[in-house]
Amino acid sequence: MGKDSQFSTLTIGIPVHNEEQSLPESYASLVEAINYLPKYLQVEVIYCLNGCTDQSESILRNMTGPSSRMGNFAIIESAPGKMNAQMAIVANRRFKDGPICFADADILMGRNTLAALYHKLSSDPDCMVSYAHVEPHYDNKHNGNSSSFPDLLFSHYNYRKHQAPRNYFHGRTFMLRDAHDFDEMGHDLAERVERVRKIDPWFVEHLGLEKGPLIDDIYLSRVIVAEHGLSAIAEVPDAKILFHPPTTVEDYFRVLERTRAEIKRLDLLYPEHAQIQQNLFRREFEDASLYMPEGERLKLRLLRELETAFLKRVDDALLSPSERKNQLANAHWVRAGTTKQAFGGLITDDFLNGSTPLGPALERDPAITPGDALYDGQKSPEERAHPGGNGLGATGTGEHPDQGQHLHHDEDGPKPPMH
């Protein structure tokens, strides 16, 4: 790519909320990725502290990268919240006309990540946002532990390799052609909130609609596809990042809850985009798992069953009290603010490991094999005695903890050296 590129500047914005453990390695990988950008490109880096209570600010102010291209470096502050930080970065950037890249503070970039994202935008005039390919990183203590939740969740990431590409993007690392969607985001928010209030004021109060969009990738994916079509979003396989996926059921379910709640919020505020979410961003999980080993399919199906049961509860809680059929959903519901918070211990690793007593009513029938217990619970005792197959049938249904069913959407959720 030569100097005839249409861009001459690039802003890199990184929201930071209590990332003292991740910042040193994340920063080092950013410096190396910047060094691989085209030499003619002017680069500015803006870290935005939003609600930090740890040593993130001190660590940032003491870091110096071995790159002459880090001269345009700034640390700013905003109100808590990732999108508040992003909007502050947009408002404070020096380079107003070039692309802007947002990256999480707890990921690791490959050395070619920024260059690959930039090249996609420069070479494809239809592309409005390019986003990185993500790979989960598991600590060694989880490797090979088939009873741990990380191992169960790994079946999901294994499964993604057999899926068709998604039509939306994740928020861990992405590059926008411009920032006008941030500039325009709040201009009619008050009118939209009042319209919902006239329908049912419960939604405004309990879902915090007056705050506007809260999750960047869900909101921006919908807006960009509405304005420019599906070709405007592109995953770049050569732009690789590593992230830490959730390691507990509690954190994983918080990702699902937060995603599902944001989709509901956006459907209320921006109903013109609801069909995009439903028809274009929804991914079915059917035939692809046939390519996986049987053991992995069993884990994937178990994960989907857990998701389905949990999300039924979340969906009921997202209905106004007058709409609810399940009276249990009238219990007080607390929105998930972050995956870093504990869930409350409703589902634990002991539960998944089988060490939590099931109780007399749920004790396993000796005639039921593990496969039967998971997939053939409706069979008669005679059918269980003569299964005539592996009991798996088709493949796991349900959806991924991103926008296809829930979200990012952490988040897809999710950070250590590149493979």
**What was the pLDDT predicted at 287?**
54
Q: Tell which CATH classification among 3.20.20.30, 3.40.50.920, 3.40.30.10, 3.90.550.10 matches the domain 9-245.
A: 3.90.550.10
**What was the pLDDT predicted at 299?**
86
- What is the mean predicted confidence (pLDDT) over 67-86? 90
pLDDT tens figures, 376-419: 444 444 444 444 433 333 333 333 344 544 333 333 443 333 44
Residue 278 is classified by DSSP as I
Contacts of residue 319, Cβ cutoff 8 Å, sequence gap at least 6: 329
The C-alpha atoms of residue 172 and residue 193 are separated, in whole angstroms, by 28
Query: Which comes out higher in pLDDT, residue 103 or 323?
Result: 103
**Pairing between β-strand 129-136 and β-strand 233-243 as defined by DSSP bridges:** parallel
C-alpha distance from residue 300 to each of 139, 306, 392 (Å): 21, 10, 12
pLDDT tens figures, 288-325: 567 778 888 888 888 888 999 999 999 999 999 888 76
What are the residue boundaries of the structural domains of the chain, listed by start?
9-245
- What is the mean predicted confidence (pLDDT) over 55-77? 84
Beta bridge partners of 16: 49
pLDDT tens figures, 88-98: 999 999 999 89
